[in-house]
């Protein structure tokens, strides 16, 4: 699918007819967005604008410095965008070409930041004079949306934190949740660092050098990076607390087994002594030998429990 946004006298118009590229003047074109584009659509756009998506993506995958470059009349950006599907966060690559203030994007994901940018374009067409403004809006919107995502994760972490105090805590389930939160925090931190790199590079570019809007985006990204650091610290604290609780429960269990073992040691000793069937043992012929042995066994157990109680080991 290809969406073409261009200026008219009264509004920013959207069209999905790729043949309009040859009919609309280059000055009126604002944005060409390729989403789940077919090979034919991709090749048509590449041929018309003399660009190569696959070559740039390949170079970006093997050279980190090729994820952003600027030539005389072209600016290329390769950036990863986070998308949420069925409560699962994944990362999707997006390719940007800025050709003399005309924005071209190529993606294989449905991204809310792009949809929100389109809504903003419809609400305030005068704020989008060219592709530069659209590019800024996409990154600005993306940082806001990712900030909402990370705040939602922080709320879920708070729920998990409150669940630690419940007697019905499922330790294994909580550990799995904490681990998934850590993975998400890593994903968002990498994403914010990626956006920080892109926006910093844009601020060095001639068309964006004095752009105050991007400077605000950088500040927002830095604050989100600090927030993710706080989330990492909180998750580590929760994990340590949960592991401490598990250790305490295990220690209690071991303590019970230890007490039981110690309590039954004297009776076991007495039973072992009178279990030695030597002929010279006078107790074997006693009429009250068996009751006496039982009495000694019970008395020794009670005495051991008394010692534990007095020492406050129970």
Whether pTM > 0.75 for this model: the answer is no
Distance CA(256)–CA(252), nearest Å, equals 6
Residues 107 and 169 in one domain: yes
Question: Could you read off the pLDDT of 1-42 as tens digits, one per residue?
Answer: 888 888 887 788 888 888 887 888 788 888 888 888 888 888
DSSP string, 237-275: HHHHHHHHHHHHHHHHHHHHHHHHHHHTHHHHHHHHHTT
* Final residue of a structural domain among 203, 219, 246: 246
Distance CA(78)–CA(66), nearest Å, equals 8
Distance CA(81)–CA(87), nearest Å, equals 16
Token pair 């070409």: residue = 97
Checking if the pLDDT of 186 tops 70, the result is yes
Q: What is the mean pLDDT of residues 45-56?
A: 77
- pLDDT value of position 62: 44
Question: Could you read off the pLDDT of 87-141 as tens digits, one per residue?
Answer: 788 888 888 888 888 899 998 888 888 889 888 888 888 888 888 889 889 989 9
Residues 274 and 204 in one domain: no
Residues 213 and 277 in one domain: no
What is the domain range of residue 152? 2-246
Question: Could you read off the pLDDT of 138-177 as tens digits, one per residue?
Answer: 989 998 988 888 888 888 888 777 766 655 566 777 888 8
Residues 242 and 268 in one domain: no
In a domain, 75, yes or no: yes
The packing angle between helices 265-273 and 212-263, to 10°, is 30
Domain count, the chain: 2
CATH number, residue 47: 3.30.460.20
Residues 217 and 83 in one domain: yes
């Amino acid at each position: 699918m290809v969406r073409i946004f261009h200026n008219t006298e009264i509004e920013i118009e959207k069209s999905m007819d790729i043949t309009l590229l040859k009919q609309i003047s280059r000055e009126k074109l604002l944005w060409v967005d390729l989403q789940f584009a077919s090979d034919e659509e991709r090749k048509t756009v590449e041929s018309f604008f003399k660009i190569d998506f696959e070559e740039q993506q390949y170079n970006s995958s093997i050279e980190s410095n090729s994820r952003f470059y600027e030539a005389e009349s072209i600016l290329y950006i390769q950036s990863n965008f986070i998308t949420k599907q069925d409560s699962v966060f994944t990362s999707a690559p997006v390719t940007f070409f800025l050709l003399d203030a005309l924005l071209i994007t190529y993606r294989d994901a449905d991204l809310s930041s792009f949809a929100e940018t389109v809504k903003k374009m419809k609400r305030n067409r005068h704020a989008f004079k060219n592709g530069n403004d659209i590019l800024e809006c996409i990154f600005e919107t993306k940082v806001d949306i990712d900030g909402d995502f990370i705040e939602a994760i922080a709320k879920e972490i708070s729920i998990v934190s409150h669940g630690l105090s419940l007697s019905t805590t499922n330790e294994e389930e909580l550990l799995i949740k904490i681990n998934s939160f850590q993975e998400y925090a890593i994903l968002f931190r990498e994403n914010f660092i990626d956006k920080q790199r892109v926006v910093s590079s844009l601020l060095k570019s001639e068309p964006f050098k004095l752009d105050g809007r991007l400077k605000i985006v950088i500040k927002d990204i830095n604050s989100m990076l600090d927030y993710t650091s706080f989330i990492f610290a909180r998750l580590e604290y929760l994990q340590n607390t949960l592991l401490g609780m598990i250790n305490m429960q295990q220690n209690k269990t071991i303590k019970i087994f230890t007490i039981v073992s110690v309590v039954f040691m004297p009776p076991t000793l007495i039973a072992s002594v009178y279990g030695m069937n030597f002929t010279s043992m006078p107790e074997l012929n006693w009429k009250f030998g068996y009751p006496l042995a039982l009495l000694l066994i019970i008395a020794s157990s009670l005495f051991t429990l008394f010692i534990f109680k007095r020492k406050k080991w129970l």
